[in-house]
Amino acid sequence: MSLFKSFDVGEELMIVQATDQLDHTGHTLSHAERGLVDQQKALPYLRSVSLNMSSVNRRVKVATRDDRRQGATIKTHEIDEISVTSESVVELEPTTSKDAASRFYSNAERRITQRLSRKQQLQWFDERETALKFIRERITRAKKAMMIVDPYADGEDLFNFGHFITRRDIALSLLTSRLPFEDGSAMIANFERALQTFQQRGLPTPEIRILSGGKNPPIHDRFLVIDGDVWLSGNSLNAIGARASVMLKLPDPASVRARLEKYFGNAQPLDNIVAPK
């Protein structure tokens, strides 16, 4: 260090003039009576450099029918498929969680996250087009995985939303129930038509699982899981926005995501369902 001094902190913004070039800066803030208040170890201005390169390698057209009514308008969308050319991170200062200062800030961030989890981040939808645009825009940002959890979702919903992924290596999955179908035969036929479109596009086959409970599945709410984020919807994807409904992004999604993954793991794979003869 080229500067190590003590300063009295007042109510005004304090600016410390360096006498020479500084590679690292840190601070310790203490109170005359209460002792240590805040601390940050000496860290460089530039701690890491992240470089991501991607390119659009194919543009596909997807025709969707956004309304279930007979004779509904069919719209054509152009989707740019993105391939990741390279991803690299160079750490100029190794990070550690063992020192007291790191533990202090880690716990402080955790407390902030917990406070945020008590606040609702609402999206109010009372128009179908607005809801579809909002959801599809978030789907296009998915990088690794996307899961739809909707006990009323069928193959058409998988088609109308799943085809908006822009990366061909995304793991796409759907957790639904028997509610939208009369029997197993109708269910299999419905999903087979949707799965064929993903094969025709050259995408990995989405994994479909069916909740237990028949017409009374254990999950009522609808969720959209995109990478690490979880969105909670007050309405099914096939009707969201047609009637006023709310969608919110969970500020602390880890526990909900873990539960959804458990339900998914316990659900019955579509391939295991035998159509009645």
Distance from C-alpha of 12 to C-alpha of 181, rounded to nearest angstrom: 67
Q: Which residues neighbour 173 within 8 Å (Cβ) at sequence distance 6 or greater? A: 145, 146, 147, 148, 206, 207, 208, 209, 264
What pLDDT is recorded for position 274? Answer: 54
What pLDDT is recorded for position 94? Answer: 62
Each of the 277 residues of the chain gets a pLDDT tens digit; together they read: 456 677 777 777 777 777 677 777 777 778 878 887 777 777 776 777 788 888 888 999 999 988 878 888 999 999 999 987 777 877 766 655 556 666 777 777 888 777 766 665 678 999 999 999 999 999 999 999 999 999 999 999 999 999 999 999 999 999 999 998 877 788 888 899 999 999 999 999 999 999 999 889 999 999 999 999 999 999 999 999 998 999 999 888 999 999 999 999 999 999 887 554 4
What angle separates helix 155-162 from helix 184-201, to the nearest 10 degrees? 20
CA nearest to 79, candidates 177, 173, 161: 161
As a dihedral over the C-alpha atoms of residue 178, residue 181, residue 182, residue 187, rounded to 10 degrees, the angle is -90
What pLDDT is recorded for position 120? Answer: 59
Question: 3-class SS at 207?
Answer: strand
Length of the chain measured in residues: 277
Instruction: Give CA separation, 245 vs 147, 152, 176, 233, in Å.
Output: 20, 16, 20, 8
Which pair of tokens denotes residue 33? 């009576």
Fold (CATH) for 121-272:
Endonuclease; Chain A (3.30.870)
Q: What per-residue string of b and e applies to 226-262 under the rule 16 or more CB within 10 Å gives b?
A: beeebbbbbbbbbebbbeebebbbbbebeebbeebee
- pTM for this entry: 0.69
Distance from C-alpha of 222 to C-alpha of 32, rounded to nearest angstrom: 53
What pLDDT is recorded for position 277? Answer: 47
**8 Å CB contact between 134 and 123:** yes
